Amino acid sequence: MALNLVMLGPPAAGKGTQAKTIAREYRIPHISTGDMLREAVQAGTPIGLAAKALMEAGKLVSDDVMIGVVRERLDRPDTREGFVLDGFPRTVAQATALDGLMGPRAPLVVVEVVVPAEVLVARACGRRTCRDCGTITTDANASCPTCGGALLQRRDDCEEVVRERLRVYERDTRPLVDYYRRRPTFQPVDGNQPPDAVATAIRHAVETALETAATAGRRV
């Protein structure tokens, strides 16, 4: 069965790192709407120009724009065997639209990465991304632990903007936990442990969700 995975969780919960790992393991694309927007900002496209100030302030880009971006991306043939969505949906309107886009595809598996708020601010403010290979690290390294490239801090990873992003998460994205909670393919995972342990927990959660979906499918 295809794996259509949504990684849900607050900023700096480790979603991006974990999403990349699971996408590699299942050989499906990692779709990060934050990365897509940052590329659009770099390229100076109309979407990038519209998103830049909102991103720097920790606010959300409009549902219409984001739903359009994701619809186009999920239309591409490389998502046929599944995908890992990282950073989408972020509102109930986006979640409803995503359900509409799924149509006859396999069901969504939703993993919520749970991390206490006080841990998140410290993590986000210490987070650096490698300019060359994209590795994300919170170690106080001068260079990337993977390839030795230069480490950069995201403009929205300073304390004031992180706190705003957490407020936005609580207001707009936390309601998605209730939106998805009753589905048999929803799985919470403890994100407040070392990355390898989180990865193991996510793998287990995904396998459990896929088995549940397959069993439910056989009953229909």
Q: Is 23 among the residues that bind ligand AMP (CB under 6 A)?
A: no
Query: 115 vs 210, which CB is nearer to ligand AMP?
Result: 115
Query: 85 vs 210, which CB is nearer to ligand AMP?
Result: 85
Close Cβ partners of 8 (under 8 Å, ≥ 6 residues apart): 15, 110, 111, 112, 113, 173, 176, 177, 180
Catalytic residue status for 15: yes
CB count in 10 Å sphere of residue 119? 14
Q: Is 9 among the residues that bind ligand AMP (CB under 6 A)?
A: no
**Listed residue (112, 97, 107) closest to 187, CA to CA:** 112
Q: Is 128 among the residues that bind ligand AMP (CB under 6 A)?
A: no
Asked if residue 89 has a cis previous peptide bond (ω within 30° of 0), the answer is yes
Strands 82-86 and 3-8: parallel
Q: Is 66 among the residues that bind ligand AMP (CB under 6 A)?
A: yes
* Catalytic position from the list 59, 73, 105, 154: 154
Catalytic residue status for 155: no
Which parts of this chain interact with ligand AMP (CB under 6 A)? 11, 33-34, 37, 54-55, 58-61, 66, 87-88, 90, 94, 156, 165
